[in-house]
Chain A
């Protein structure tokens, strides 16, 4: 990765961390944007794994308890992977999943059309409520003194 690319990437990560409550890392986007780096990572991972693999295998083959634990881990991993592969397109139509993270993206026409497709006008209403929730709670009354105090930071 050259220096310029590195800095750009870092800038992106920082700005995301500042602008949002939870920093987000979009692995898919990153993979497409930096295919070479991705390949490098894969290569390194494979290399590192093969070096460690022989040691791990030795431990597993020696201990029966470790063998059992490894088998259980493999079963859990397979069932988790299978569960993730279930297609989500024909999902439950009664519940409305969070379409997008930011409220502003949840009240676009296209996003609300998607909500309507899933659960009718009630789903639209639910999504709007979700989107506008961060605006509240509001104080019941706000005095001029309070407002001035907030502006002046006192």
Chain B
């Protein structure tokens, strides 16, 4: 009797142990950190020798061919890994922020290559007529761009480039696909869900301030200036001042940097024309400040060209608003059979003017035109959407 009980108990203990091991989060797939999967995909993915052909394909410049089909087939595991990663909320790239502006960044250049792979795969789904799947890939790419956007400014810019290219993908698919209310509503809802955590430059600005302060120490600053500035008189002068610097020099430079970053962050919150003017002024004045004021030395060594970055961020957000507004127009077309005569009220507008887009019907679709000019490129943007007859 005793042996039977012991056996049963042993079995129960084994069963519990197996259950515990199987349900242990450490062994679960996918992991709870998307970055692990991205790193894996970055390592496994080898871009094709015919790289430009893949870019031409997703852009719709060329038709599919055997090479492309074969390549996508061979890389389906990489695509699956990235898609799994995009479904995970948490993404921690494991960056050591205590290094200030010298933090080592992940191989984000691979993200652009992976983007081309996913975009080509989306294009292939669209060619097969599965627009829902193609648009789903675009949503996944948006999520990847969100994941890439860690605190450093560069990660924001890499994510921005990917986001902007994805907008082009969506525009193409919307222009080709039959107007289907269900798919369009689904797409609108997916984008609304993404917007709950908007793609933003805010945390990159905050981190830039913190990183700058970390870097403004006697131990770090020489290396930072060596890496951050091009060879020339500015760098030479900055290094000279650093060589003879005392504690007060660093304290005054940090105070200057904090005031400067206050102005930068405030300018990013202004309407575009004012924000641009403010940032352009700050960018233009910094070299002059540097030559006459030693307190501006380290700020001049660390500051990027803000008015350019600001314009990039506004360009992305305006493009995103154009896609959202276009989806509403397509939904109206799907419901009524006709394009609206006027732009429906309440749609997101262009951020250059802060006004709604100018809507114009064309022979094969419609155009959404910005009312304000981008001052960095001196250009008025317009977004063309076609409508499948």
CB within 8 Å of B: which residues of A?
A: 32, 87-89, 91, 99-100, 104-105, 107-114, 116-118, 121, 124-125, 128-129, 132
Contacts and interface: CB of A to CB of B under 8 A. Distances in A.
Interface in B90-120: 99, 101-105, 107-109, 112
B231 A110 contact: no
B104 A107 contact: yes
A128 B109 contact: yes
B356 interface: no
A87 B211 CA distance: 30
B294 interface: no
B261 interface: no
Contacts of A100: 226-227
B101 A108 contact: yes
Interface of B: 99, 101-105, 107-109, 112, 152-154, 157-158, 161, 211, 215, 224, 226-234, 243, 302, 304-305
Given A109-B211, A114-B228, A125-B109, 19 more contacts: A32-B243, A88-B232, A89-B230, A105-B227, A107-B105, A108-B103, A108-B227, A109-B101, A109-B102, A109-B103, A109-B152, A110-B101, A114-B227, A121-B161, A124-B108, A124-B154, A124-B158, A128-B108, A128-B109
A113 B243 contact: no
Contact of B304 (A108, A117, A121, A129): A117
A32 B239 CA distance: 12
A60 to B, nearest CB: 37
Contacts of A121: 112, 157-158, 161
Contacts of A124: 108-109, 154, 157-158
A91 B154 contact: no
Contacts of B101: 108-110, 113
Contacts of A91: 230
Given A104-B104, A108-B101, A125 B112 contact: yes
A114 B154 CA distance: 10
A109 B224 CA distance: 10
Contact of A116 (B157, B231, B234): B157
B227 A110 contact: yes
Most buried by B among A105, A109, A113: A109
Q: Report the 5 A-B pairs with minimum CB-CB distance, sorted nearest first.
A: A89-B232, A128-B109, A110-B101, A109-B152, A110-B228
A90 to B, nearest CB: 8
Contacts of A114: 227-230
Contacts of A111: 227-228
A128 B112 CA distance: 12
A112 B233 contact: no
Contacts of B103: 108-109
Given A91-B230, A124-B157, A110 B302 contact: yes
Contacts of B108: 124, 128
B264 to A, nearest CB: 14
Nearest to A105: B227
Contacts of B230: 88-89, 91, 114, 118
Nearest to B164: A121
Given A110-B101, A110-B102, A117-B305, A132 B229 contact: no
Contacts of B305: 117
Contacts of A116: 154, 157, 304
Given A87-B233, A89-B230, A114-B228, A109 B109 contact: no
A109 B153 contact: yes
A105 B104 CA distance: 8
Given A124-B109, A125-B109, A128-B107, A112 B232 contact: no
A100 B102 CA distance: 13
B234 A108 contact: no
B158 A113 contact: no
Contacts of B158: 121, 124
A113 B232 contact: no
Given A109-B101, A109-B152, A124-B109, A87 B227 contact: no
A11 B212 CA distance: 33
